[in-house]
Amino acid sequence: MMRGQRELVRRGEKDASGCAIFGVIDESGRRFTGEEAMRAIATMRERSCGLGGGFAAYGIYPERADLYALHVMFDSPASQEMTRGYLQSVCEIAHEEPIPTRPVEAIRSAPILHRYFVRPARGARERFGDAGDDDLVVRLVMYVNAEIEGAFVVSSGRNMGVFKGVGYPEEIGAFFRLEEYEGHAWLAHGRFPTNTGGWWGGAHPFGLLDWAVVHNGEISSYGRNRRYLSDFGYQCTLHTDTEVICYLCDLLSRRHALPLEVAACAMAPPFWSRIERMAAAEALLAKAVRTVYGGALLNGPFSIVVGHSRGLFGLNDRTKLRPMVAARSGDRLYLASEEAAIRAVCDSPDRVWHAEGGVPVVGALQEERVAQLAGTT
């Protein structure tokens, strides 16, 4: 038990930490350093506890935007060697290197941190029939996380990466030198994941392909969601509720091609009593989504910010049991647990409002920037 926690126990007080989340996107695609996200999340330090912090950044690898960037943690050189051997059997490794870090007094016992820039090998495509590259990378992530002891794929998207560990978020940001990276969107989180101890792989954000999720709250439907996802080949190996949100985003939006608003409706659908009061066409869609995607419904209090290749969105549970504040300033959209975090980096936003329960707040890249950032032009 950490010293501060022992003091709380002696005084008979409760640790009121409640997770801090933050997200920002510049919809014009203009990149900015991670210093802003570090400063914003540090404002909510009292929500954290020093056992978990992390960031997701989009647009940080423009020179390798056509490759999948695998951020991987290893417990030992043996697990690193085993993972590299597996990667070579299914991928072409275009480049690899240690993830740059700096000494930070509060950050200790860090795992081996390495990144690989890869593309699926032609032989792997033939082995799995008509599976696309994204599906092959998902298989790769599931295999490493479930089958290679001491190895964990932190993120696996193109032109993005997740940086996380045990510590306060601003300490994690300094450790990973995030002020040296530039991206057009950033996510940040403070505190460890629900229902697990603090460990490097278990800190937020959780990522798969270009999806990254930060979460405040608790998903009481985790068991049902996990069983539902297993029918589609997703293995939840982290035993934390947030992991299912990331995989549901991939299933609903990428594999089933649901519009973002419909995917959000599947995860946080209207109550039946509200559906009965809707107009006929709207009620028909809501009923269909609840019927077909019942296993994707998230129960419990939550506020989440989700990043992806075309933007980000925030979503509250249907009864808004966790806070989320949104703000706009020019091309910027901000989402945070507290307004103070937004004003720490944007002192005069054009508009500030509280997100509605079950209604996504969406930030989208301007379309002409999407292809450029994906490295396809």
Shortest CA distance to 361 belongs to which of 25, 53, 59, 56? 25
pLDDT digits (tens, 9 = 90+) for 329-370: 999 999 999 999 999 999 999 999 999 999 999 999 987 566
- Structure confidence at residue 240 (pLDDT): 82
Q: Which two tokens stand for residue 308?
A: 């992806």
Instruction: Residue 85: count other Cβ atoms within 10 Å of its Cβ.
Output: 10
**Domain tally for the chain?**
1
What's the pLDDT at 126? 67
Return the C-alpha torsion angle 161, 167, 173, 175, nearest 10: -100
pLDDT band at 51 (very low <50, low <70, confident <90, very high): confident
Residue 25 has pLDDT above 50, yes or no: yes
Expressed in angstroms, the distance from the first to the final Cα of the chain is 52
pLDDT of residue 202: 86
Predicted TM-score (pTM) of the model is: 0.91
Question: Is 128 within a domain?
Answer: no
pLDDT higher at 10 or 300: 300
Tell me which amino acid residue 64 is: R
In a domain, 2, yes or no: no
Q: Judge whether 104 lies within some domain.
A: no
Of the pLDDT bands very low, low, confident and very high (cuts 50, 70, 90), residue 281 is very high
Q: Are 77 and 150 in contact (CB under 8 A)?
A: no
In a domain, 187, yes or no: yes
In terms of Cα–Cα distance, which of 177, 167, 190 is closest to 43?
190
Q: Answer yes or no: is 166 within a domain.
A: yes
Q: What is the CATH number of the domain that holds 41?
A: 3.60.20.10
Average pLDDT on 218-225 reads 92
pLDDT value, residue 215: 94
Sheet with 311-316: list strands edge to edge: 206-208, 211-217, 302-308, 311-316, 361-364
Within-domain flag for 133: no
Q: Is the per-residue pLDDT at 371 higher than 70?
A: no
pLDDT tens digit sequence for 99-141: 999 999 999 889 999 999 999 998 776 666 667 899 999 999 9
Lowest mean pLDDT, pick from 3-12, 59-68, 98-107, 172-181:
3-12
* Cβ-contact 337, 316 below 8 angstroms: no
What percentage of the chain has pLDDT greater than the value 70? Answer: 90
Q: Kindly report the average pLDDT of the chain as a whole number.
A: 90
User: What's the whole-number mean pLDDT along residues 244-251?
Assistant: 96
Whether the per-residue pLDDT at 12 is higher than 60: the answer is no
Instruction: Quote the pLDDT of residue 2.
Output: 37
Active-site residue, from 19, 49, 246, 249? 19
The string over 302-325, giving b where at least 16 C-beta atoms fall within 10 Å of a residue's C-beta and e elsewhere, is bbbbbbbbbbbbbbbbbebebbbb
Q: Is residue 43 in a domain? A: yes
Identify whether 232 is part of a domain.
yes
Specify burial of residue 373 (Cβ count, 10 A radius: 0-12, 13-18, 19+): buried
Domain residues for 172?
16-60+159-372
User: Residue 131 has what pLDDT?
Assistant: 74
Average pLDDT on 256-263 reads: 95
* 49 part of the active site: no
Q: Is residue 80's pLDDT more than 50?
A: yes
Average pLDDT over residues 187-214: 86
Predicted confidence at residue 3, as pLDDT, reads 40
